[in-house]
Structure 1
Amino acid sequence: MKKILFLIHDLGQGGAEKVLVNLVNNMDHTKFDITVMTLFDCGENKQFLHPKVKYKTWCKKMVPGNSQLMKFLSPKRLHKLIIREKYDIEIAYLEGPCARVISGCTDPTVRLVSWIHIEQHTAKRAAQSFRSIAEAKKCYRKFQKIICVSKTVQKDFQRVLGIKASHEVLYNTNES
């Protein structure tokens, strides 16, 4: 059984949070041992997770300016501090801090995936949660797969950061 970690900032009201809950709830739980981990333990979507999906959090409360505070540690140190278990696949389900944390994984056997949900428009904006644009590029290059939620998001990400990793478009799933 493959162990998969989805890391997201929180499970608030946003679209990515709702789509993540829908995605993990509908994955094959006989094939995948799924963990959703939040950086901060808040958000009403947590209650909708399927009982077979494990839930973990790093901090009980949201810390103001957390993205800036996290810049004091390297991605490698953040990964060691936040991700304490071994997974086969680690997915940064949002841009920014989650991608920075997951990119710090040093285990070559772990498959790293970054899920991009929004257009960044500029390299400066794409690198807001990183120490610099150079660090953002270095971190995103560590991912074996970059998934974008639309072709426009994919084109924007490629244009803004120029990352050559394998890109794929997977449209958001909606349960109706």
Structure 2
Amino acid sequence: MKKLLLVINTLGRAGAEIALLGLLKNLDPTKYDISLYVIMAQGEMIKQVPDHVKVLNSSFNHQSVLSKQGRWSMMKTSVAAFFRNGACASKLRYLLKTGFAMIKAGTFQIDKLLWRVLSDGARRFDETFDLAIAYIEGGSAYYVADHVKARKKAAFIHIAYENAGYTRQMDQDCWGQFDQIFAVSDEVKEYFAKFYPEYSNRLAVFHNVIDREHIWHRSQEEGGFEDDYKGLRILTVGRLTYQKGYDIAIEAMALLKKLGCQAKWYVLGEGDQRKKLEKKIADLRLQDHFCLMGAVENPYPYYRQTDLYVHATRFEGKSIAIQEAQTLGCAIIASDSDGNREHIINHEDGIICELTPKSIADNIRLLLEDKDKRKAFSRAARRKAAQEEAQIHLLTELLMT
């Protein structure tokens, strides 16, 4: 039986984490001895890890990584990692040199800066694996590259690499340690190849795996919209970050309000942009029209009940939220940005529009006023979701070489 290790940074509710759970459920436990290690040992999705997967963390914090308490716990984990496994002077030099470089370039992101420290301060294992997989960029990639013993190593890239804020200085040539680098979409692959052309021959596309049966069953559970709103509902699911473009969505909602559209926009997710977004909502007097609902344990009843799903992001890898919306037959509008184009054929199974308030508002109005078109897009979305298959054979082929 082949021994597999999968490593991820956290297990909070986000796209890569959901895709990881889908992959774990598709790996055959009669063929593989599967282990999982979470760098920060935190996240509410841990309870969804299949029973046949061995979690190697000695303890685990079930708090959301986006909650106030969860962020405090992550800070304590980062401090502990700095002192664990020694090499404190080396870690400090890295933080100072890389941190100043990020500030100078105007790209400072504390999470990106800390991944190297968290990787170097993570638990080490004496065991040798047949295949070790870093399932996301940053800490897990650095950890598998530098601190895991394996016959073969693979990594997953989920986002347009340079846009996410990573640099060669941060990576310290970790990618040279991997036999295979999987990108979740063709565009993600192209971006990574431009950033690291020397590893182009190691790149392949491996689409996100989602558990459609699980999504459908959970969509039938109680929950969803609990207000008594009688108009049409718009839904977006995703973290409250700059990447997700909620500032533009709020302006689009303001235009819809001026046009007299009877619609209400709901956002499921949490993040560091909440206060800025709440201020913008208040400034535009949209408190009754644009609702930040926070993170929810089960978002799927909302997908099932909504009239329209909108995904207006600045950049993406390949959106799990869109795949979930397609699985549940949502009519979808997405911005013409990296990743989104691979999900939708414009005006065939959804709409791709410019990332401007006017374009988003115009297309929302078009679909809200055309129930037949919404139904047609809904049917097409379900068909597309049903056609996608897990690409487990790519891992099998890597193990066989």
SS in 2 for 1:46: helix
What aligned pairs does 1:73-84 form with structure 2 within 5 A after superposition? Answer: 78=120, 82-84=123-125
User: Structure 2: how far apart are the matches of 1:118 and 1:151?
Assistant: 11
More strand by share: 1
Q: Which has the higher helix share?
A: 2
- The letter for the 2-side match of 1:96 is G
Structure 1 CA distance, aligned partners of 2:44 and 2:162?
30
Task: Spell out, residue by residue over 1:37-76, the C-alpha distance to the aligned partner (whole angstroms, 9 max, x if none).
Answer: 1012222211111111111227746432836456459x7x
Task: Provide the residue aligned with 2:377 in structure 1.
Answer: none
Give the 3-state SS of the residue equivalent to 2:162 in structure 1.
Answer: coil
5-14 vs 61-70, which moves further = 61-70
The answer to whether 1:95 aligns with 2:137 is yes
Flag the 1:92–1:155 CA change in 2: closer, same or farther, 3 A. same
Match of 1:125 among 153, 161, 165: 165
Q: Which residue of 2 aligns with 1:32?
A: 32
Q: CA RMSD in A?
A: 2.6
Structure 1 stretches lacking a partner, 5+ long: 128-132
**Which deviations, in whole Å up to 9, do the C-alpha atoms of 1:65-120 show, x marking residues without a partner?**
836456459x7xx38x523132111111110111111111475x621111101112
* Gapped regions of structure 2 (runs ≥ 5): 62-72, 79-110, 213-401
Specify the structure having the higher radius of gyration (Cα). Answer: 2
Counterparts of 2:185 and 2:154 in 1: how far apart (Å)? 16
Q: How many percent identity over aligned positions?
A: 27
Matched, 1:175 2:217: no
What is the 5 A alignment of 1:1-176? 1-57=1-57, 60=60, 62-64=73-75, 66=78, 68=113, 71=116, 78=120, 82-84=123-125, 85-105=127-147, 107=149, 110-121=151-162, 125-127=165-167, 133-134=168-169, 136=171, 138-164=173-199, 165-176=201-212
Assess, with a 3 A threshold, how the Cα gap between structure 1 residues 168 and 58 changes in structure 2: closer, same or farther: farther
Give TM-score scaled by structure 1 length: 0.81
After TM superposition, what 4+ stretches of structure 1 lie above 3 angstroms from structure 2? 58-63, 65-73
How far the C-alpha of 1:174 sits from its partner, in A, is: 1.8
Q: 1:173 to 1:69 in 2, by over 3 A?
A: closer
| Aligned pairs, number | 165
CA–CA separation in structure 1 for the residues paired with 2:117 and 2:45: 30
Instruction: Provide the rounded CA distance (Å) in 1 between the counterparts of 2:195 and 2:30.
Output: 39
1:39/1:58 contact within 8 Å kept? no
The 2-side partners of 1:106 and 1:14 are apart by 25
Render the CA deviation track for 1:134-158: whole Å, top value 9, x for unaligned.
Answer: 5625111110000000000000011
Q: Say whether the 8 Å CA contact 2:3–2:131 is kept in structure 1.
A: yes
For 1:171, the aligned partner's letter is H
Once residues 32 and 104 of structure 1 are traced to their aligned partners in structure 2, the CA distance between those partners, rounded to angstroms, is 23
Q: Which is bigger in relative contact order (C-alpha 8 A, separation at least 6)? A: 1
SS in 2 for 1:57: coil
SS at the partner of 1:4? Answer: strand
Q: Secondary structure at the match of 2:50?
A: coil
**Does structure 1 retain, via aligned residues, the 8 Å contact 2:116–2:142?**
no
Q: Is the CA contact (8 Å cut-off) linking 1:58 and 1:82 kept in structure 2? A: no
Q: Partner residue of 1:130?
A: none
SS in 1 for 2:129: coil
Contact in 2 for aligned 1:40/1:58 (Cα 8 Å)? no
CA 1:3–1:22: 2 relative to 1, 3 Å? same
